[in-house]
Amino acid sequence: MSNIPVLTIDGPSGSGKGTIAQLIAKKLGWHYLDSGAIYRVLAQAAIKHNIDLSDEAKLSEIAQRLDLVFSLDNDALTVLLEGEDVSTLIRSEQAGNAASKVASLPLVRAALLERQRDFRQQPGLVTDGRDMGTVVFQDAEYKVFLTASAEVRAERRYKQLKEKGIESNLSALIEEISERDERDSQRAVAPLRPADDALQLDSTAMGIETVFERVSALCADV
């Protein structure tokens, strides 16, 4: 058991957990781990090296020696794979789906466990993902499970894409999000679910400011 405090924020894609996690990390002056980005980079590495997204043995092997660098400057997370900036590439819906596929493989998850735990550094860590509070940082002091309806999450995603000048189809996004939720919550290892001791927040009808206030209040003793 470590004495370095951790705040875990788990939830489905599009729930706003990444935004909240970064805001709180900044407020507390803690480190930040975007665990989903690790799975996204691994899927990218697999595509780059022509490895099938269901080849568990090969994927766990590359997971163990994944050449991955994160850096957070001016609120922007830069992600390097083998020295190449893949920050934008890994954010597409296809990359998210590919990440969800490789993340369902038990050996892949096992290979990435210690790498994630290494982010636990003083003065503290804020992390977001699917199994942060249930598996990776089970002993975390502060845990949040953030959700929202699939429709609202797809709408948020639609707006984000539009702001970036990318046209998308809302009903296709709802379908993709629901499919990803299903895979992430039905898998045998570390499925998406709230930890028993997590504060559960439904942001369907809640603005980002309110979610931020509720999570800040949880960590008020820091």
Helix axes 93-102, 35-48, angle to 10 degrees: 90
Q: Which amino acid is at 139?
A: D
Instruction: Give the C-alpha separation, 29 to 124, whole Å.
Output: 8
Helix (H) or strand (E) holding 97, with range, is helix 93-102
**Contact between 40 and ligand DC per CB under 6 A:** yes
**Contact between 35 and ligand DC per CB under 6 A:** yes
Q: In terms of CB distance, is 163 or 221 closer to ligand DC? A: 163
Q: Which amino acid is at 32?
A: Y
Q: Under the phi-then-psi rule, with left for phi > 0, alpha for psi from -120 to 50, and beta for the rest, what region is 190?
A: left
Q: In terms of CB distance, is 5 or 133 closer to ligand DC? A: 133
Q: In terms of CB distance, is 31 or 40 closer to ligand DC? A: 40
**Contact between 13 and ligand DC per CB under 6 A:** yes
Fill in the per-residue mask, 153 to 172: x = in contact with ligand DC (CB under 6 A), - = not in contact. Answer: --------------------
Could you tell me the CA-to-CA distances from 215 to 32, 92, 160, 167, 210 in Å, in that order?
15, 28, 23, 33, 9
Q: In terms of CB distance, is 39 or 142 closer to ligand DC? A: 39
CB of 102 to ligand DC, least distance (A): 8
Q: Report whether 39 contacts 189 (CB < 8 A).
A: no
CB of 36 to ligand DC, least distance (A): 2
CB of 29 to ligand DC, least distance (A): 23
CB of 221 to ligand DC, least distance (A): 26
3-class DSSP state for residue 39? helix
CB of 13 to ligand DC, least distance (A): 4
Tokens, residue 26: 């900044």
Q: Report whether 218 contacts 163 (CB < 8 A).
A: no
Choices 21-29, 125-133, 153-161, 199-207 (CB under 6 A): range interacting with ligand DC: 125-133
**Contact between 131 and ligand DC per CB under 6 A:** yes
Contacts with ligand DC in 43-102 (CB under 6 A)? 96, 99-100
Q: Report whether 222 contacts 5 (CB < 8 A).
A: yes
- Interface residues with ligand DC (CB under 6 A) are 13, 35-36, 39-40, 96, 99-100, 103, 129-132, 180, 184
